[in-house]
Amino acid sequence: KNRWHRPDRAGQSVDDSVESQAVKELIEDSRRQLEQWQNGPQSESNPNLAIPLLMQNKVPDGFEDGDHVKVDLRPESSTEADYDSVPVEAYGLAMLKGMGWNKEEGIGRTFKQHVKPIEHQLRPKGLGLGADRSAIKDLEPTRHKRPPKPGEEREKEEELVMGPGGCVLVESGAHKDLYGKIEGVDADNARVVVKLAIGGRSATISQYAIKLVGRQEYDKNSKDLSRLGKAHKDKEKEKEKEREKEQQRREEKERRSNGDEVKPKSSERDGGKDERKRKHRESTRPPVKEARRPPPPPSWLQRDLKVRFVDKAFKGGRYYNSKMRVEDVLTPTICVCRTEEGRVLDDVKQDMLETIIPKSECDSIMVVLGEHRGQVGRILQRDKNKCKAMVQLDRHDEKVFTLDYDTICHYVGAADR
């Protein structure tokens, strides 16, 4: 009786299919691992996967013996490019893993827990110990915001940043009441470079002379020349007075509600008498004289003076802070000027200009106010603290005069005056 059996073809085919599937998965897994190693560090995919450095550099068995060492099988020494290709976080992560760190486990021996690291913030230069910049916001006047209506979403407040691109308003200095955008910040000297909206010039301004504003306010008022006029400023003063009166009324109501100003009954009985006396006193007062108008400023305009244009509203601020020459004087306070580009400006008023003190000792000056008005000379010495200069005039070679900066100006005409 034969005891052999036919081979089970079905079972063998099942084993072959399982084995081929396992081979495919191993090949796919190895290919995936190879791509991960070639594309970058393994800090994101599997932070716990690490091959010891000694195992990576080990030569396969059978290629070397104890006496002969094959250098060509060893890896080449690392170059600067190799160090640059490894991110700092991957290098630090490798050090932590070498010390036994695991991303899934907390730090500690008995009570392991995840601890958030302390991130120190750099203090601005000049900010004393204990000073808090957030306390400045408490000093700013707050506006009462109405509660949102049902179904209304409150708009998110715009974050104001003291950095490039931020919108600011100059509150003091030569560029007062002008808007601009920050181009750069000098944190060491607490100054910022601001590009003015009117005129397009860049100016270096102290950080404490500007105020951060929102984009909406900047777009609305940055190039509005009407707010620089006298009428607009008068309206602002009236609004400020109204706000002060309203504040006084509120304080008065609060004091009355707290009982601080409760008059006694005797004062209520004598109230009528005091009112009659007050009316009698007012009727006997002499009429108030009207205040005299202040005299106009003295005229200092002369031909061939080099002056600076300081009017922010003239021609849209195009000539603001630019230097020009006085070509002709029409009236004591009106003149004709020529810019450095050769453009002529007519009907320029005196209050649109200011005098310039030359920087070079070789430049001439003219006395525009005082006893020696119209005389030409040169500066011998300057006193910037007192805003005075020691001047020698051409008509008085043996004398030296000490004059204020406001009484002299840069002269670019002929020297025979």
**What pLDDT shows up at residue 30?**
78
Q: Which fold has domain 305-411?
A: SH3 type barrels. (2.30.30)
Domain positions in the chain = 17-85, 167-228, 305-411
Query: Beta-carbon neighbour count of residue 300 at 10 Å?
Result: 23
The pTM is what? 0.38
Q: Does 167-228 match 305-411 in CATH topology?
A: yes
* Residue 264 confidence (pLDDT): 47
pLDDT in the model for residue 262: 45
Quick: pLDDT tens for 157-210. Answer: 677 888 888 999 998 888 888 899 999 888 777 889 999 888 888 889 888 889
Could you give the maximum distance between any two Cα atoms of the chain, in Å? 155
| Ranges of the chain whose pLDDT falls below 70 | 1-16, 37-57, 62, 64-66, 124-126, 133-146, 148, 151-157, 226-232, 259-291, 415-417
Contact by Cβ (8 Å): 178, 196: yes
Span 298-317, pLDDT tens digits:
888 888 899 999 988 888 88
Between CA 32 and CA 153 the distance in angstroms is 49
Residues belonging to the chain:
417
**209: DSSP letter:** G
Cα separation, 41 vs 90, whole angstroms? 6
Question: For the chain, how far is it from start to end, CA to CA, in angstroms?
Answer: 148
Fold of 167-228: SH3 type barrels. (2.30.30)
